[in-house]
Structure 1
Amino acid sequence: MEDKGLHNAKEKRLKRKEVLEKKKAIDEIIRKATSVQDHLSSFLPFCQYDRNGLSVHLESGNGDHLSSPTKKYIQNLLKVNMERYYGLEWPTEEKVKRREMVVPEARYIFVRQSNTNATIAGVNKPEDGLDDGGLMDGQDRLVGFVHYQFVVEEDVPVAYVYELQLESCAQGKGLAKFLMQLVELIARKNKMGAVVLTVQKANENAMSFYTNKLRYVISSISPSRVDPLIGAEKSYEILCKTFDPEAKGKLEE
């Protein structure tokens, strides 16, 4: 009995050590990914998009280095695109999003259209509710952005897409799909196990886009799968696309 007790104690110590080492390894993956200031530098051929009558270029950004005009633009585009889907929840959600957008861990892909191209295309003026998105700081006009962060979900390092927002002039051109595929490339390069995102149920176009065009699935951590009764009361679903069996087992199955 004593030998068995010692054996069990040894197994528990080894198990704890294994868990701690795995956590340390995951934390290091997140640390390394977050320490990269410009993830687009590894994907320079993807920084120009010229398709379907749209010509834009991409640039990286960090949450704690956003200019005042850029912060204002992000806030305004979020309001224009998302307020109707949140309904009465919007005032609270807007405050949350404003905090999330400027944390040091926030990484951005900004979509800019040169003033010349915008004028030729007839979209040199921002749509209602938006400012000139970057012109105030001497840059080409912003027409959208992606906000993502490297986080841990269910012991899996993931790239979590907080926002993918485009102005109407940049929608329906294949750009959103291109940007998500770019995020997936960034995630894979940085050893993430998945890309995860949240979609409002009321945003049926977005839900169809992610699940049908990009083949994302409702994650096992989404409220509707954790507890259908609670999920029915929630206004959102959590979607994911996994890259390896371990991530699939923890986030999909």
Structure 2
Amino acid sequence: MEAEGTNCQRKKRTTRKEVLEKKKATENVIKVASSVNDHLSNFPHFRHYRRNGLYAHLSSGRGNKLTFFTKQYIQKLLKLNMEAPYGPEWPAEEKIKRREMVAEEARYIFVHEVSNKDVDGVSELKEKERTCSCEGPIVGFVHYRFILEEEVPVVYVYELQLEPHVQGKGLGKFLMQLIELIACENRMGAVVLTVQRANLVAMDFYIHKLRYTISAISPSRFDPLLGPEKTYEILCKTFDHEARAVLEVR
């Protein structure tokens, strides 16, 4: 009996050690991914967008290094696009988003519209896979972070915002494809995001066009009784078995 007890204790210690090692390894994955200065560097062909009459150049940014102008721009675009879906909740939510957008862990991809006179230059640079120096005005952005969600390393998309005149041109899908590539490149198990239920266009875009699913951690799935009281859903697209087991509905 004593030997059995000793073996049992040893097994528990081994299991605990494995859990701690796994947690440390997962946290290191997040740390390494967050330390990359420019996630676009591994995807040079995604630096430029030329479709449906829209010409754009993409650049990277960090929340704690945003210029005053960029902060103002983000605030205005968020209000333009999100005030209606949030309704009476917007004033409180706007304050939260202002804090979130300048956090050190916030990562950005900015979309700069390129004027017609610079289109030929962009085409040449695209072929050579070089960085464009003809950045025009910002017309949209993605705010994303590398975080742990239920102990799974994920890219969490906080915002995908585009100005009305560049919507409907395939740019949103292009940006989400890039985010998914960044997630896989950096060993993330999934891409996760939150969508307001009242934002029917966004719900349709993610679920039907991009094949995201309502996550097991979304209020409507996690707690069916309280879920209907919430105004949002958490969506996900998983890339491995572990993430699927935790984040998708079984």
**Structure 2 residue ranges without an equivalent (≥5):** 119-133
Q: Which residue in the other structure is 1:90 paired with?
A: 90
* Cα-to-partner distance string for 1:92-148 (whole Å, 9 max, x where unaligned): 111111111111111100000124469xxxxxxxxxxxxxxxxxxx95211000000
Q: Which residue in the other structure is 1:215 paired with?
A: 211
Contact 1:55/1:117 (8 A) holds in 2:
no
Q: Which residue in the other structure is 2:129 paired with?
A: none
Contact 2:55/2:115 (8 A) holds in 1:
no
Matched residue type, 1:33: A
Contact 2:155/2:183 (8 A) holds in 1:
yes
Q: Which residue in the other structure is 1:35 paired with?
A: 35
**Structure 1 residue ranges without an equivalent (≥5):** 119-137
C-alpha separation in 1, matches of 2:82 and 2:225: 25
C-alpha separation in 1, matches of 2:146 and 2:65: 17
Aligned residue among 227, 237, 241 for 2:237: 241
C-alpha separation in 1, matches of 2:104 and 2:229: 32
Q: Which residue in the other structure is 2:166 paired with?
A: 170
Hey, which bits of structure 1, 4+ residues long, moved more than 3 A? 115-118
Matched residue type, 1:218: I
Percent identity of equivalent pairs: 64
C-alpha separation in 1, matches of 2:84 and 2:167: 18
C-alpha separation in 2, matches of 1:190 and 1:117: 36
| Alignment size in residue pairs | 234
Q: Which residue in the other structure is 2:177 paired with?
A: 181
Pairwise CA distance, 1:247: 0.7
C-alpha separation in 2, matches of 1:15 and 1:225: 31
Matches within 5 A, 1:1-253: 1-116=1-116, 140-252=136-248, 253=250
